Amino acid sequence: MAKRVGIVGAAITPFKGRWYQKTYYELAQMATREAVADAAISIKDVDSVFYGIYNDIFERACIPEHPLQGILGMQNKFGIRISNGGATGAYTVSAAHAYLAGERFKTALVIGVEKATDCFDFSSMSATPEVIKTIAWSGDTFFEQNIGWSASDSYAEVVLGYMDEYPGTLKPEITAQISSLLSQQARTNPYAQRQFDQVTPEEVMNSRYIVYPFKELEICVYSEGAAALILAEEETAKAIAKNSGKPIIWITGVGEANEHSFAGKNQKDMSHIVSDYLGAHRAYEMAGIKDPTKSVHIVELHDAFIHQLEISMAEFGLVPYQSVDSLIEDGLILPGGKYLVNPCGGLSYCGHAVGASNIMSAWSARNELIKRKLRTALVHGTGSTVSQYTACAILEHE
Amino acid sequence: MPEKRRKLIPDNFIPEIKSRVITLDNQDYLLQNDAMYTFYERSAGELSPFFLAIKNEKKILGCKCSKCGIVRVPPMMTHCPDCEFAPTKLVEVGQVGKMNTTPPITYFATSMFLDKAPFGRGRVILEGADTALSVMLYTTTGILVPGLIKKGTEVKVIFRDERVGQISDIYCIPTSELTPEQVTKKGLQESEINWAIPKEPQFPKPTDKDIANFRQYLKEMQSIAIKMSQSKRARRAIEGWKRDITVKTKAGEFAMRIDNGDFRVEDKKLASPDFVMACEDPKTLLDGLMYKGSITDSVITKRLWISKNLEFNTIFKLDRLARFLVMEQKEKTAK
């Protein structure tokens, strides 16, 4: 029988559009220092470290985690890097969970960090085209990179595929309201990159197209920052929690799936995010959740794009495919509604420091479960071309 | 159509060896120009026949499973994973197909594709194929706009005149924009197609009211430009950028000047602008600068004409200028 695994400490750095003051070394150490302090343990008590770093080019180094082993005080201990596109953070949590549940270690540091906006395009004298170019090296090397593949256009393919399948859904006024809602939720997150950037639905609708059908205010923002969790197996978690006085948030389910990267017969179904469906439902099964609409209270969802947030909610089984707009129209995610989605502002407003993002989401879900005395949260990460990768975790507060 | 690049990394992408210092909270931080670069002489391996067929024969190949018969395009595998790795064989497929789903349109591209935007990229199922080939999509009629190519739209593969053996040697356009002969012709090249040449719009004679509005809107734009130049955040949107733009409207012409953080709207004619914008009603631009609708979308919806597609880049910066000014005002209020 696998051991139970719980979160006993968590911390993040502020997420910023640019951290001129810090390298990724210091960002990773900042989050780690705070996480061990939150758990009231010494770094010497941590047996293993799991690094979530997405893109070598962002950090300007292959195996960018290697200096962190010493900087984080983890020398001579187990260390492994996970890199799974946008889903890196969620997959890193999943990997750490597996090692602890399998009794390889008693404690683990899960540290995600990304330094994205050092990239700079000297032809347009701005960072963003170079940041998205760096991500564009993630497209298929033979068939897509040199015809303009980007993260935005590959997710837009799936969103448009969904809209082909379910016409009349993902209405612009609904995506605009969701973006506006997330901007309001970020207002209380002091670590959010856009804490003070509250936008109206009208502003969202008036914002420029980046990649049709996505407008500028319907897309997550690239960030720099780090996020850390301290995980422990059951007995150790209980001992740490007794000492720290903080409740344990148990990881009761994890689920993952990676789809085909090409479309067509026997390959990727472009009208769905099957990886989201499988990842969430595998996590539910492990957690013993029969009906997620009755069990899940908080969703910390990887909102790379607002349209995709809606589709992911449907794939999670939390809203019907044909009526995803009921998230707003029926008030399901509005204040006081059935689901609390991205209370931190999500990746759209807290920010997307890729390797750290889903770990930030787990940090937020843990905070909200404790603060609001709620029982169950779903944490989600999506990534790679055409939303190919998904990892999900179920967090539960006893 | 965009020109083919002659160098792997164009010179304008390559910065000088240089550094600078920025000061934040009385602390200096060093910023250094830097790059990671690796050159390849890369083998196309088992994919070589596919790319050589495009380059030399203007043909598209797929791979057909010897067991289940599925034809995959591109032919990215020599054995079928659905049939216990039964071998596949290369087959030729058609050059006309239907869009698998509605394709996205990229207006704001990565740095490598800024000069190619706007473009579509989607997946076409060619005649004789079961899977979808990812392709760039263009229209012969000007700027690609939403609704022009949708799920099920029939498109034709076009071969570039100069081919190097890469997937970018081909792209697709709707067959509705071609003659029946062109649709059926194998190996149709881009030089055989009539491309619409962008023409500067001509406006009717202005009324007195148009002229009065023009004077008023110009004044308002000048006033916003002063605020933008005074805003620390807005200045960042046009840092390091320099452009002189002639703006032509029904009731008159004026200049917009961007100069490394400074933004000016001047009531004058420029002798040698970097590019020209033309819009019948100057309020289109005023609204954009006032953050009441994006200038990018004005270009897409053809309310604003630009003489060079590459200057979409400057249009994005003008939209950013407007947004950054509003963001700064919001932050000041919130704090």
What pLDDT digit, counting tens, does each position of B246-270 carry?
A: 999 999 999 999 999 999 999 999 9
| Total domains, chain A | 1
Averaged over A81-87, what is the pLDDT? 97
In a mutational test of the B interface, the residue from A62, A134, A147, A260 whose CB has the highest number of chain B CBs within 10 Å is: A147
Averaged over A78-102, what is the pLDDT? 98
A337: Cβ–Cβ under 8 A, 6 or more apart, which residues?
A331
- Asked whether residue A191 carries a pLDDT value surpassing 50, the answer given is yes
Q: What is the pTM of this model?
A: 0.94
B294/A206 Cβ within 8 A: yes
Nearest-angstrom CA–CA distance, B306 and B259: 19
B123/A264 Cβ within 8 A: yes
Averaged over B236-242, what is the pLDDT? 92
Question: Residue B1's pLDDT band (boundaries 50, 70, 90)?
Answer: very low
pLDDT digits (tens, 9 = 90+) for B291-332: 999 999 999 888 999 998 888 889 999 999 999 999 888 888
- Identify whether A237 is part of a domain: yes
Nearest-angstrom CA–CA distance, A307 and A294: 24
Token pair belonging to A27:
């960002």
- Identify whether A83 is part of a domain: yes
Task: Look at B34-38, B76-80, B139-143 and tell me which has the smallest mean pLDDT.
Answer: B139-143
Judge whether A264 and A270 are in contact, CB under 8 Å: no
Looking up tokens 């003489």 gives B307
pLDDT digits (tens, 9 = 90+) for A157-169: 999 999 999 999 9
Share of chain B above pLDDT 70, in %: 99
A82: Cβ–Cβ under 8 A, 6 or more apart, which residues?
A50, A51, A52, A88, A91, A92, A95
Looking up tokens 């249009």 gives B315
Domain of residue A98, residue span: 5-119+222-244
Domain assignments of chain B as residue spans, ordered by start: 47-192, 208-334
Interface contact B61, partner A, CB < 8 A: no
Averaged over A70-96, what is the pLDDT? 98
In a mutational test of the B interface, the residue from A170, A212, A258 whose CB has the highest number of chain B CBs within 10 Å is: A212
Phi, psi of B164 (to 5 degrees): -120, 0
Q: For chain B, where are the alpha helices, taking DSSP H only? A: 48-52, 180-184, 208-230, 232-237, 283-289, 295-300, 312-334
Nearest to A120 by CA among A28, A56, A57, A53: A57
- Asked whether residue B2 carries a pLDDT value surpassing 80, the answer given is no
Tell me how many residue pairs between chain A and chain B have CB atoms under 8 A apart: 190
Nearest-angstrom CA–CA distance, A376 and A365: 9
Token pair belonging to A343:
């209370």
What pLDDT, on the 0 to 100 scale, is given for residue B4? Answer: 54
What pLDDT, on the 0 to 100 scale, is given for residue B114? Answer: 84
Question: Residue B5's pLDDT band (boundaries 50, 70, 90)?
Answer: low
Contacting residues of B for A212, CB less than 8 Å apart: 104-105, 107, 146
Contacting residues of B for A124, CB less than 8 Å apart: 111, 114, 241, 313
- Identify whether A236 is part of a domain: yes
Averaged over B2-27, what is the pLDDT? 85
Packing angle between helix A128-136 and helix A151-165, nearest 10 degrees? 70
What pLDDT, on the 0 to 100 scale, is given for residue B142? Answer: 83
- Identify whether A146 is part of a domain: no
Angle at B206 between CA B201 and CA B208, to 5 degrees: 160
Judge whether B155 and B124 are in contact, CB under 8 Å: yes
Judge whether B325 and B234 are in contact, CB under 8 Å: yes
Averaged over B126-150, what is the pLDDT? 95
Residue of B nearest to A160 (CA): B102
The partner residue sitting opposite B168, judged by closest CB among A20, A146, A164, is: A146
- Identify whether A343 is part of a domain: no
Assign domain B208-334 one CATH number from 3.40.50.720, 3.40.50.20, 3.30.1050.10, 3.40.30.10. 3.30.1050.10
Q: What is the mean pLDDT of chain A?
A: 97
The one-letter amino acid code at A118 reads D
A21/B108 Cβ within 8 A: no
Distance from CA of A318 to the nearest CA of B (A): 25
List C-alpha distances in Å: A170 to A278, A280, A293, A324: 22, 21, 21, 7
Nearest-angstrom CA–CA distance, B323 and A207: 9
- Asked whether residue B6 carries a pLDDT value surpassing 90, the answer given is no
Judge whether A153 and A140 are in contact, CB under 8 Å: no
List C-alpha distances in Å: B330 to A99, A221, A385, B234, B324: 46, 18, 35, 13, 10
B47/A264 Cβ within 8 A: no
pLDDT digits (tens, 9 = 90+) for A5-52: 999 999 999 999 999 999 999 999 999 999 999 999 999 999 999 999
What strands, in cross-sheet order, belong to the sheet with A78-82? A78-82, A48-52, A107-115, A224-233, A5-12, A249-258, A389-397, A376-383, A298-300, A340-341
B100/A263 Cβ within 8 A: yes
CATH at A39: 3.40.47.10
Averaged over A205-215, what is the pLDDT? 96
Nearest-angstrom CA–CA distance, B97 and B174: 10
- Asked whether residue A1 carries a pLDDT value surpassing 70, the answer given is no
Residue of B nearest to A135 (CA): B110
A206/B135 Cβ within 8 A: no
